[in-house]
Structure 1
Amino acid sequence: MTTGMLPPLPEDVRWSVCLREAATSRVLAAHAPEQVLRTASVGKVFLLLEVARRLETGELDPDEPLSPTPEQTVADSGLWYLMRTGTLGVVDLCWLVGGFSDNLATNVLLRRVGLDAVTALTRSLGVHRSALLDRVREDRGPQHPPTLSVGCAEELSEVLARLHRGELVSSAVSARVRGWLAANADLSMVASAFGLDPLAHGEPDRGVLLLNKTGTISTVRVDVGVAAGPSGAVAWAVQADWQDATRDPRGEVLAVMAEIGRRVADLVGVPAVPAGLRPARGSG
């Protein structure tokens, strides 16, 4: 695989990276794209696809009220656990998952559709090494799957390229999921290179239209997404896992991910935030 387009990668971090031309899925650059790593919240994309599929077929009412059970209650990532309302509609929960990777909303949606259904849909898409494995848990014991989700950049970048082309399940299902992911407020990784407002980038800005999903735990950073600009569109999956490292390299990892984002920006023909500068936040 070609690696010349990628910056040097810290050697004590396990990486899986793949950049694709979104229109054709042609690989532009890759490093260990077949390596399966922990992907934290990125597996929630497969949950959103199954929910979107059921909304399109009429199996789910977009306004169906859902509430958490005590065992589903988790804090940390997201907003719902901070809110006063205990009941939200299906589509509102999807916006929370897409926009803020909401753990509580994830668990409630997953209970409604079932992990088996999410797995079946994932496999039907030809995805066999990437998956959502479980619900979010505050305490993960030996009886549980060892992590929330796993994946490799080869598959995940192809999933994003197909999402861009409207080929995941159907054009309508793909469009729903693209909308939810375009609301993602986490632009701290690859997407940091574009200098967009993290709270409002659902429309083209600075010549680029961007959507992405990120995953974060203490020793993992993952960003999968698509950027479309005047020179074309690029889909990416950039995964970093330093579980076995003797130090905390997250600063270097984030710098590398930002540099990959700058190279994606060059490919799609839009200006990038220079190295060493943080993207400016817009009004809102």
Structure 2
Amino acid sequence: MGSSSAPVPEPVEGSSTTVRRSSRGGGGRRVPRRAAAGRRSFTSTLRALEELADAGAQVSVHVADLDSATPVLRGDDHVTMPIAGLGIVPLLIEVAAGIEAGTIDALEIIDRADLELVSSSGLWRHLRAPALPIVDLAVLAATVGDPNAVNALLQRVGHERIRARIASLGMPRTALLDRFRDQRGPDDAPQVAVGTTQELALLFSSLVNSAVIDATVSAQVAEWLNLNYDLSLVAASTGLDPFAHDQDAHGLLFINKTGRDRGVRVEAGVLGGPRAGVVYALIVCFDDLSISHRLRAHDAFRTLGVELMEYTH
């Protein structure tokens, strides 16, 4: 899977902009610096992220040209932050690798009764089928982030293999810490997963360039992620059909995965258009005190989506 190439704008001398981060959660780290000018810059995204930081949110972003790997927007992209359901991508990679290697049977049946069910969200809990094959659970995990499907795969694969896979992918700041739960107690990991936008963006770039394990595994995971239904954040600006966007009539290359938790929104993906391809990751951690707080965070993702479309078209 590739993208049409286009000239990458050179950074304009003296135009890199650094905005201060609020003191919440760790002091004066920097948030995004602009590395391009004019129509293909990210001025509006920069402004939106500045406003979030000034309001006390923690922000991390990494955007790079897909063909050259040149960063065009970055800020605190090395900082480890919660990534919620986005952390299941290494799990999907391990499942695909196991299927290809023959250590996992794609049609192996897993019974829902063997799980400690998450009752607060998910699709499988509403289905009549009490058991599903591993490959269908992978589709549920990728498309709707189904927590019980994820927990079933994680139980089958095991944390040790996921940790080893993440290490082999060269992602030292990323971890899938725990399964999904209705409630997190004092003895549970505080987050499902953590990671950095730099590592997440690199992972998605590797997927579309067939560099995650091998071409077969990369293609399988990209195919699962291409079915993702959550196009409400960055992807809202693509105009794609959430339920049928794997064969876009306008030739748009797009895969993504989102993560959501209380006060956490995250998305990573690849967008390819006629002028360029781009890989991106954005994490926003905010005080979810009201609908307006939440919508302000969502608006920043959509602003990034608009400027990614401008960059690629």
Do they fold alike, i.e. is TM over 0.5? yes
Residues 75, 103 of structure 1: 8 Å contact kept: no
Kindly provide the amino acid, as one letter, of the partner of residue 280 in structure 2. W
Q: CA deviation at 1:180?
A: 0.5
Match of 1:2 among 16, 20, 33: 33
Q: Deviations over 1:113-161 (max 9, x none)?
A: 1011011101111001112111111121111111100111111111111
1:51 aligned residue: 95
Instruction: Map 1:4-153 to 2 at 5 A.
Output: 5=42, 6-8=45-47, 9=49, 10-11=52-53, 12-69=56-113, 71-153=115-197
Do the aligned residues in 1 keep the contact of 2:286 with 2:297 (CA within 8 Å)? no
Q: Which residue matches 2:15?
A: none
Q: Distance in 1 between matches of 2:66 and 2:121?
A: 29
Greater shift after overlay, 203-212 or 189-198? Answer: 203-212
- For residue 286 of structure 2, the aligned residue among 242, 252, 259 is 242
In structure 2, the partner of 1:257 is 301
Give the 3 Å change call, closer, same or farther, for CA 139–78 of structure 1 in structure 2.
Answer: same
The residue type equivalent to 1:202 in the other structure is: D
1:246: Cα distance to partner?
6.2
Distance 2:86 2:167 in 1: 16
CA distance in 2, matches of 1:69, 1:150: 29
Q: Distance in 1 between matches of 2:249 and 2:77?
A: 30
Offset, 1:71:
4.5
Paired residue for 2:237?
193
Does residue 232 of the first structure (1) align with residue 276 of the second (2)?
yes
What is the aligned partner in structure 2 of residue 279 from structure 1?
A: none
Q: What is the number of equivalent residue pairs in this alignment?
A: 268
Alpha-carbon shift at residue 46 of structure 1 (Å): 0.8
* Deviating more after overlay: 245-254 vs 78-87: 245-254
SS of structure 2 residue aligned to 1:128: coil
RMSD: 1.5
Equivalent-residue separation in structure 2 for 1:88 and 1:72 (angstroms)? 16
Point out the structure with max Rg over C-alpha.
Answer: 2
Identify unmatched segments of 5+ residues in structure 2.
1-31, 36-41
SS at 1:249 equivalent: helix
Q: Which moved more, 1:67-76 or 1:152-161?
A: 67-76
What is the aligned counterpart of 2:220 among 176, 191, 200?
176
Partner in structure 2 of residue 277 of structure 1 = none
| Partner Cα separation in structure 1 for residue 289 and residue 125 of structure 2 | 34
Preserved contact between residue 201 and residue 209 of structure 1 (Cα < 8 Å): no
Distance 1:121 1:139 in 2: 27
| Secondary structure, aligned partner of 1:105 | helix
In structure 1, what is the Cα distance between the partners aligned to 2:120 and 2:181?
Answer: 11
* Cα distance, 1:266 vs structure 2: 1.2
Distance 2:121 2:218 in 1: 25
Deviates more, 1:65-74 or 1:163-172: 65-74
Instruction: Give secondary structure in 2 for the equivalent of 1:94.
Output: helix
For residues 96 and 166 of structure 1, the distance between their equivalents in structure 2, rounded to whole angstroms, comes to 23
Distance between the aligned counterparts of 2:211 and 2:307, measured in 1?
A: 26
- Taking every aligned residue pair, what percent have the same amino acid on both sides? 33
Shift of 1:207: 3.4
Q: What residue identity is the alignment partner of 1:2?
A: R
Secondary structure in 1 matching 2:46: coil
Partner of residue 208, structure 1: 252
Alignment-mate amino acid for residue 183 of structure 1:
L
Q: Is the contact between residue 87 and residue 193 of structure 2 (CA under 8 Å) also seen in structure 1?
A: yes
Task: Note if contact 1:97-1:103 (Cα within 8 Å) is conserved in structure 2.
Answer: yes
Deviation for aligned residue 1:214: 0.4
